[in-house]
Amino acid sequence: MFFSESIKVLVLHRDALISAGVASALGKHPDLVVREPDALQAVDAPARALQHERMDVIVADYDTALEIMSKERLEPAPRGATPPNVLIVTRCETQWQIRHALEQGVRGYLLLGCSRHELAEAVRGLHRGERYLGAVVAQRIAESLACEMPTGRELDVLRLLARGHGNKAIALKLNIAVGTVKSHVKAILQKLDAATRTEAAAVADRRGLLTVQLGSHDQPAHARSDCQPRVLHQSTRIRGPHFSAAS
């Protein structure tokens, strides 16, 4: 296959083995020019990467990707320069983690276990201005769009509920009335489409809601990134609002 231009790719994954594997896999494609920071630069890699020439695509782990996007918001690129195209390769697969990353400006999201071909196609897709989501990631997004997010107080109740606390115990811990707790539990069951408290806890765990931390404005700020890997079998490219399956 002939490619008319080279794509500059920077690999910034905190796991050294994964970083080496990603760089090696991408380096086998003649159109992808791959660079990896050395071990001494690894800790400050995001900052160093954005101080020098801008790369076409940055492949990073979850936390590093969010650091890059946060820095981009605080220190916008010069006029005329485009924001970095960031592709996450991670174990993190909960609905909230994925949505949060995309809302922060990440343009591609793959789970560990994706094929080398898919990884290269994701890089090329981002370079063309597309978004690129793995199949499981796209499924999580589709599921999350049909779900209403609990409020900050409901998340507080939900965490305690998941630990097995009853209404009175939750009321004491949160310093609210028992009747208020009951109202929150009812709203939680409706939003999670759960029939019982046990089912609500299971759904919340699957969606990653039990790990969401709240910021100063009662909005989710971050979630843990220590998720278990899942193998992908099909991917999805996104051009605007339209989805099309990629072979």
The tally of CA atoms less than 13 A away on the side-chain side of residue 246 is 26
Digitized pLDDT (tens) for each residue of the chain, 247 residues in all: 555 679 999 999 999 999 999 999 999 999 999 998 764 344 455 545 454 457 899 999 999 999 999 888 777 666 666 778 999 999 988 888 898 899 899 999 999 999 999 999 999 999 999 999 999 999 888 877 767 788 889 999 999 999 999 999 999 999 999 999 999 999 999 988 899 999 999 988 888 788 765 432 223 334 444 344 333 334 455 543 333 333 3
Alpha helical stretches, state H, the chain = 16-27, 45-51, 62-74, 95-103, 116-127, 135-145, 152-162, 167-174, 178-191, 197-207
Q: What is the pTM of this model?
A: 0.67
| Domains of the chain and any CATH numbers | 7-145+227-246 (3.40.50.2300), 152-217 (1.10.10.10)
Q: What would you measure as the largest C-alpha separation in the chain, in angstroms? A: 68
Neighbours of 155 (CB within 10 A): 21
